[in-house]
């Protein structure tokens, strides 16, 4: 069967905003009609990233804080000379985490742990429209 594909669209609320994609991705897999296979997620753009986390209020603070500790916000980046838009750290954070993730599908469900959800994180300094491409393979 060829790859089944849908696009999910989100509006983020600015730097460090994390969104739980798990239910939306699960619905795409259901519509794909695939029981056992793999699902790939890819966020388009260079200032957002995708991963898995226990999606609870504490970690929604801790994880953006970690990224801001590793690549601190500010204008002391060479990237600033190109665009003067104050988002050098956004690019670095997004590149470090990465835009892509592949998850197994088992008996029609995402093979995540009980406390493991799929998230999108906005690394840019303002609200953005984001597109996540969901590709289901069987």
Confirm or reject binding of residue 22 to its own copies (CB under 8 A).
no
Binding segment (CB under 8 A) for its own copies, from list 9-17, 25-33, 51-59: 51-59
* Interaction pattern, residues 101-120, with its own copies; x per rule: CB under 8 A: xxxx-x----xxx-xx----
**Number of residues in contact with its own copies under rule CB under 8 A:** 54
Confirm or reject binding of residue 33 to its own copies (CB under 8 A).
no
Find the shortest distance in angstroms from Cβ 60 to its own copies: 8
Confirm or reject binding of residue 51 to its own copies (CB under 8 A).
yes
- The dihedral over CA atoms of 107, 113, 114, 116, expressed in degrees to the nearest 10, equals -120
Burial tier of 16 (Cβ tally within 10 Å: 0-12, 13-18, 19+): buried
Find the shortest distance in angstroms from Cβ 78 to its own copies: 4
Interface residues toward its own copies, by CB under 8 A: 2-3, 5, 36-38, 40, 42, 44-46, 51-54, 56-59, 61-63, 66, 70-71, 77-82, 88, 91-92, 95-104, 106, 111-113, 115-116, 133, 135, 137-138
């Amino acid at each position: 069967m060829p790859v089944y594909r849908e696009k999910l669209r989100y509006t983020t609320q600015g730097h460090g905003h994390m969104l739980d994609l798990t239910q939306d991705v699960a619905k795409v897999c259901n519509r794909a009609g695939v029981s056992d296979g793999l699902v790939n997620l890819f966020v388009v753009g260079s200032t957002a990233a995708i991963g898995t986390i226990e999606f609870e209020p504490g970690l929604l603070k801790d994880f953006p804080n970690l990224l801001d500790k590793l690549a601190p916000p500010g204008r002391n980046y060479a990237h600033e000379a190109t665009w003067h838009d104050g988002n050098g750290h956004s690019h670095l954070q997004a590149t470090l985490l990465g835009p892509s993730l592949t998850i197994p599908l088992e008996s029609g469900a995402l093979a995540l742990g009980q406390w493991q959800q799929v998230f999108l994180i906005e690394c840019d300094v303002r609200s953005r429209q984001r597109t996540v491409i969901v590709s289901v393979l069987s």
